[in-house]
Structure 1
Amino acid sequence: MRFSVTFGAVGSGRDPRGLAGLARIAEDCGWDGVFLEDYLVYQGDASLPAYDPWICLAAMATATSTIKLGTTVTPAPRRRPWKLAAEAVALDHLSGGRVILGLGIGDPGDPFLSGVGEPSDPRVLAAMLDESLEIIDALWTGEPVDYHGSHYTLDGVQLTARPVQRPRIPVWIGGNFLVPSVRRRILRWDGSCAYKGSTTAPQQITPADVQALRSERPHPFDIKVSGGDPAAFAEAGATWWGRWIPPGPPEDAHRILRAGPPRPH
């Protein structure tokens, strides 16, 4: 089992320089990964300053050497898939192959979807996510890509820079894993960083949930959970246990990081 922390790039001490320092502390104190939430406004509250997570990840990559870095999760429909593919490759090279890309549909209530004229219907967002996943995976091969979907069209375009990691940068899927389409997506890609229930009525993922998900896929993939007993989750087949550190004073984050991950003794 590996252990991670998740931050939002929002509030005091969470600008690129501050997050680079937090990532360095996490690495020094035995954590295995640091993930960033990906939004431009924190939970609809524009009073807290939010910083672009991809710029923050670049700063974090230069400040560390071993921990995994990534997003949980990037709302793919808010991005052009070819731009996202290229940025992930650049970050994979900058970090020496330490990137994990978490992807989801995003929050339909995100002001930078509905508030800027972008689609916000969850069914449309899900279709855009599925197309984005196929396009990103194809572009990472370095070969020309022809793709004609409902939302995106590519006519023989090519990204010649390839990821450091093979066969690709690991792709984890977020969302509510009780939704059948989310579950199918998880089983198609490289891992799950999904939650259970709705954002307004969350439920705790259990070891039994992990066992059920693990039984549906015969070959290895990552399952990231949070809360509960890490040892029980590890026995059930989870590979990552994460802790979310909410916005707050930098010293609170320092205290949690310096305590180290809850590894069994």
Structure 2
Amino acid sequence: MQYGFIIPRGNVHEILELTQEAEEAGWDGVFYWDGINIEVVGEMYDPWAVLAAMAVRTNRVRIGAMLTPPSRRRPWKLARETVTVDHLSHGRLVVPVGLGALDDGGFGKVGEVTERKERAQLMDESLDILTGLWSGQPFSYHGQHYQLEEMTFLPPPAQQPRIPIWVVGAWPAQKSMQRVLKYDGLLPTAAAPGEHGNLKPDDIRAMRAYIEQNRTSTTPFDIIWEGETPGDNRAQAAEIVKPYIDSGITWWMESRWLTPDLDVIRTRIRQGPPRIV
């Protein structure tokens, strides 16, 4: 069982300070997020520049951005960015992906695709291209949206057989869950709009059973869940986390998206992860 912390805000120097504090406090992963322009948030930074800095300021923790929408990232550029950060971190990068939040002006305000079905198609093709270019072998691609003449991208990632990809899976949508089976981790959500917060441990248990029954790969697979725990009450934190651990998650992500006070976030980081002894 591993525990990560998502840093939701702060200027770029504060983000790096919090990253180092999280590693020192015993968290297993430190994550930023991928956004272009969300006006209510205020200060935002390019995730790949931030992750590169996080990579060289830490030694142990997993790093990544929660999460990247491949539909608005050129997959060959994303391949270069991810491999670079993977090498800088000596193989500690994770790539969480999903359709993305449309309240980001990086979609509708700049003419990117917003229709759900087409974003899903772009994500599937982008992941095919990403993993193909990561191979370090000659690769070409002919899809509905992307056409690539043969290219070889070197170096390949530090991690082999590839950088882990965590994919949003909407339960119980078969197409969404079948996509998850091809990769290395599940970010659970509900298929019905607005129902993500209503997923319960029993839903996670059902998703885990589906993956165990249908996934053919024998490589490691993670199930990731976000939530909040009190850092000053270990017993209460354990009560919150334990049902999800029992349901099959392998990562608990401490997320404070709505916490405006950076000092509160820093205090929670310093208190360390809600490990169950």
Distance 1:99 1:198 in 2: 31
Question: What's the CA shift string for 1:111-149, capped at 9, x where partnerless?
Answer: 222211221111100000000010000100001111100
Distance 1:226 1:7 in 2: 12
Match of 1:232 in 2: 243
Given residue 53 of structure 2, which amino acid in structure 1 is its aligned partner? A
2:206 maps to 1:212: yes
Alignment of 1:167-182 (within 5 A): 167-174=161-168, 176-182=170-176
CA contact 2:171–2:207 (8 Å) conserved in 1: no
Q: CA RMSD in A?
A: 1.9
Alignment of 1:249-264 (within 5 A): 249-264=261-276
Paired residues, what number? 259
Match of 2:88 in 1: 94
SS in 2 for 1:69: strand
Consecutive unaligned residues of structure 1, counting only runs of 5 or more, are: none
SS in 1 for 2:94: strand
Cα shift at 1:232: 2.2
Compared CA separation, residues 50 and 151, structure 1 to 2 (3 A)? same
Identity %: 36
Match of 1:20 in 2: 16
Cα shift at 1:194: 3.0
Distance 1:193 1:202 in 2: 11
Tell me which of 57, 61, 64 is aligned to 2:51. Answer: 57
Distance 1:261 1:66 in 2: 15
Cα shift at 1:198: 5.7
Match of 2:30 in 1: 34
CA contact 1:223–1:237 (8 Å) conserved in 2: yes
Match of 1:158 in 2: 152
Match of 1:242 in 2: 253
Match of 2:215 in 1: none
Distance 2:194 2:201 in 1: 22
Cα shift at 1:16: 2.6
Given residue 269 of structure 2, which amino acid in structure 1 is its aligned partner? L
Cα shift at 1:251: 1.2
Distance 2:115 2:169 in 1: 15
Distance 1:109 1:245 in 2: 18
Q: TM-score, normalised by structure 2?
A: 0.87
Distance 1:49 1:86 in 2: 25
Consecutive unaligned residues of structure 2, counting only runs of 5 or more, are: 213-217, 228-238
Distance 1:86 1:69 in 2: 17
SS in 2 for 1:125: helix
Match of 2:236 in 1: none
Tell me which of 62, 72, 77 is aligned to 2:66. Answer: 72
Match of 2:4 in 1: 4
